[in-house]
Amino acid sequence: MSTNHGEKLIQEVFDRIEHEHIRPTPRWRFLARNLTLWFSGFFSVMIGGMAISVLLFVVDNSDWDLYEYAFSGVTEFLVVMSPYIWLISLIFFMCVAYYQIKHTERGYRYNFFTLLSVVIIMSGMIGVGAYSLRLGGEIDAVVSEYFEDYYGESLLSKKQQFWMRPRQGYLSGEVVSVSNNNAFSIRDWNDQLWDISGNNLISLRDILLKQSDRVRIIGVHVASGTFRACLVKPWIIKGPSGYGERNAFELRSTLCE
Amino acid sequence: MHDIQATTTDQELVALTLQDKDYFAHLMHRYRQKLERYIRRMTAIRPMEVEDLLQDIFIKTYRNLHGFDPRLSFSSWIYRIAHNEVITQYRKKIVRPEGHMVDVEDDVLSNLMVDTNIHTLVDHSFLKNNIATLLNEIDVKYREVLVLKFFEDKDYKEISDILKKPPGTVATLISRAKKQLRQRCEEHWGKYTLV
């Protein structure tokens, strides 16, 4: 293209600018776009963090110590107990966060692994922090309350349902009176009283049951209000306050196996 | 006009243009020929269409001047706009992703030959006459990095800013581009052109 053609091109550009009333896009639009990307990226990281805190809560409270009694093996236990919604949410929001940050002004300079690692680490830190502040269970309960149709019940509800199947051999509640480790009574979560008899229950840690202990019991349903226990462990909800406390007792009867 | 061209940086011209659009002429003067060569190296379109594409590039540049990040070089930024417009034309199927080499300096060609080891396969004059054919044989994503590196004389950081890819990715693309270029050269001509 010769100089004359060059001058002609430049003039045509100016003519188009005038004719089409082209103006430079205002700076605030670029700032707003960049801020929106950063904000939505950070928001996605936060949601990912919340998903991690709930995942930690669910994993920590999934009765790992007793899975062999209810499931045929670890695989079945994992398949039934895995919190799929939170896993999918975590993956989804990690991808969104990665995409948003990648498309900021300077995000392209970071390669896939670096950016993804940063997103995962940030979400992980937020998730662990939220869980240590006992928010995992609270988030689970709130999501269940407002989105029950899509999300289902909270972990606490599911756990109570699982451990309130006396005819299948699962019972739970609060100890109301104790004669000894082989004769005590509990009130279950539906307020029903149960007389629990043990068949040579032995305390593995030399800790005796006491009134107000919350327990999970595996055994045999004898009659309405009567249950024979083979294994008694604490009812533990780790994480949020108000659900219960860690208690180290364990009563086991070898005669039930 | 010549004083301003000689003494004013691109960033200063951008700031001046935002106050008075007539200063944009200086930026267009600076980049018209470079971008025209770049377009012709990446596409096989007629001169009239080159002009149209150049116009679009400058209009887009003017429209987005407030979006120019001073931490980038203006050259990288305007090349990025040009690259995106060329890709847009490919996608609209208005142009085929083929190019023809224009104004290829001998030292540029020598650098390319040595860097890709093609000098063991073909001689300099043969490559000069067939470089466009050879480059058209390789994938577009490899051709664009080779054109930017060897013919537009951009460094890795500038290519990273133009293509909006991490510097590591650019290095990998260039390495693979050289390999593919040599492979295509071997497939097409082997060693028979060497005396």
DSSP for chain B, please give it.
-HHHHHH--HHHHHHHHHH-GGGHHHHHHHHHHHHHHHHHHH----HHHHHHHHHHHHHHHHHTGGG--TTS-HHHHHHHHHHHHHHHHHHTTSS-S-----S--HHHHHHHHHHHTGGGTS-HHHHHHHHHHHHHTS-HHHHHHHIIIIIS---HHHHHHHHT--HHHHHHHHHHHHHHHHHHHHHHHTTTT--
Q: What is the mean pLDDT of residues B184-192?
A: 74
Per-residue pLDDT band at B191 (split at 50, 70, 90) = low
Predicted confidence (pLDDT) per residue in A10-61, tens digit: 999 999 999 999 999 999 999 999 999 999 999 999 999 999 999 888 888 8
End-to-end Cα separation, chain A, in angstroms: 93
Query: What is the sign, positive or negative, of the torsion defined by CA atoms of B140, B145, B150, B152?
Result: positive
Predicted confidence (pLDDT) per residue in A153-181, tens digit: 778 888 888 889 999 999 999 999 998 87
Torsion-angle region of B65 (φ positive above 0: left; ψ -120 to 50: alpha; else: beta): alpha
| Residue A185 in this model has a pLDDT that exceeds 90 | yes
| Residue A197 in this model has a pLDDT that exceeds 80 | yes
Predicted confidence (pLDDT) per residue in A220-239, tens digit: 999 999 999 998 888 877 76
Per-residue pLDDT band at B185 (split at 50, 70, 90) = confident
* Residue given tokens 């899509």 in the structure block: A150
| Residue B22 in this model has a pLDDT that exceeds 50 | yes
| Residue A139 in this model has a pLDDT that exceeds 70 | yes
Where is pLDDT greater, at A209 or B29? Answer: B29
Q: Which residues in chain A are contacts of B169 at CB distance < 8 A?
A: 111
List the single residue in A1, A13, A111 with the smallest CB-CB distance to B59: A13
- Measure the CA–CA gap between B82 and B37, rounded to whole angstroms: 11
Q: What is the mean pLDDT of residues B39-68?
A: 91
The closest of A168, A214, A167 to A189, measured between CA atoms, is: A214
| Residue A64 in this model has a pLDDT that exceeds 90 | no
Asked whether A219 and A171 are in contact (CB, 8 A), the reply is: yes
Per-residue pLDDT band at B76 (split at 50, 70, 90) = very high
Distance from the Cα of B148 to chain A's closest Cα (Å) equals 18
Q: B46 to chain A: nearest residue by CA?
A: A1
Half-sphere exposure of A67 (CA within 13 A, CB side): 17
List the single residue in A1, A10, A25 with the smallest CB-CB distance to B63: A25
- Measure the CA–CA gap between B14 and B16, rounded to whole angstroms: 5
The closest of A50, A92, A51, A12 to B57, measured between CA atoms, is: A12
Predicted confidence (pLDDT) per residue in B93-124, tens digit: 655 666 666 667 778 888 888 888 887 778 88
pTM: 0.79
The closest of A82, A81, A113, A83 to A98, measured between CA atoms, is: A113
Distance from the Cα of B110 to chain A's closest Cα (Å) equals 26
| Residue B88 in this model has a pLDDT that exceeds 70 | yes
Determine contact: A242 vs chain B, CB below 8 A: no
| Residue A122 in this model has a pLDDT that exceeds 70 | yes
Distance from the Cα of B105 to chain A's closest Cα (Å) equals 18
| Residue B162 in this model has a pLDDT that exceeds 70 | yes
Asked whether B167 and B156 are in contact (CB, 8 A), the reply is: yes
Q: pLDDT exceeding 90 applies to what percent of chain A?
A: 48
Grouping H, G, I as helix, E, B as strand and the rest as coil, residue A195 is strand
- Select the residue from A3, A7, A13, A99 to test the B interface by mutation, using most B Cβ atoms within 10 A: A13
List the single residue in B55, B160, B166 with the smallest CB-CB distance to A12: B55
List the single residue in B28, B47, B69 with the smallest CB-CB distance to A10: B28
pLDDT, residue B123, reads 80
Where is pLDDT greater, at A257 or A47? Answer: A47
CA dihedral A69, A74, A79, A82 (to 10 degrees): 90
- The H-assigned helical ranges of chain A are 3-19, 27-60, 67-70, 74-81, 84-102, 112-132, 135-146, 148-151, 155-162
Amino acid at A132: S
Instruction: List residues of B whose CB lies inside 8 A of any A CB.
Output: 18, 21, 24-25, 28-29, 32-33, 36, 47, 50-51, 54-55, 58-59, 62-67, 69, 71, 160, 164-169
Per-residue pLDDT band at B31 (split at 50, 70, 90) = very high
Say which residues have a Cβ less than 8 Å from residue B120's Cβ, sequence separation at least 6. Answer: B191, B194
Per-residue pLDDT band at A256 (split at 50, 70, 90) = low
Asked whether B62 and B68 are in contact (CB, 8 A), the reply is: no
For residue B134, count CB atoms less than 10 angstroms from its CB and return exposed for 0-12, middle for 13-18, buried for 19 or more.
buried
CA distances from A199 to A97, A153, A211, A234, B162 (A): 56, 35, 20, 18, 77
Per-residue pLDDT band at B23 (split at 50, 70, 90) = very high
DSSP A237: -
Predicted confidence (pLDDT) per residue in A101-111, tens digit: 999 888 999 99
| Residue A244 in this model has a pLDDT that exceeds 50 | no
pLDDT, residue B44, reads 76
Per-residue pLDDT band at A75 (split at 50, 70, 90) = confident
Q: pLDDT exceeding 70 applies to what percent of chain A?
A: 92
End-to-end Cα separation, chain B, in angstroms: 52
Cβ–Cβ below 8 Å for A22 and B66: no
- Measure the CA–CA gap between A57 and A40, rounded to whole angstroms: 26
Say which residues have a Cβ less than 8 Å from residue B74's Cβ, sequence separation at least 6. Answer: B10, B11, B13, B14, B27, B68
Length of chain B: 195
- Measure the CA–CA gap between A209 and A215, rounded to whole angstroms: 9
| Residue A243 in this model has a pLDDT that exceeds 90 | no
Which stretch of A114-118, A225-229, A245-249 has the lowest confidence by average pLDDT? A245-249
Q: Which residues in chain A are contacts of B157 at CB distance < 8 A?
A: none
Distance from the Cα of B141 to chain A's closest Cα (Å) equals 17
pLDDT, residue A175, reads 92
User: What value does the mean pLDDT of chain A take?
Assistant: 85
| Residue A3 in this model has a pLDDT that exceeds 80 | no
DSSP A20: T
Backbone angles phi, psi at A234, to 5 degrees: -65, 150
Q: What angle do CA B35, B37, B39 make, to 5 degrees?
A: 70
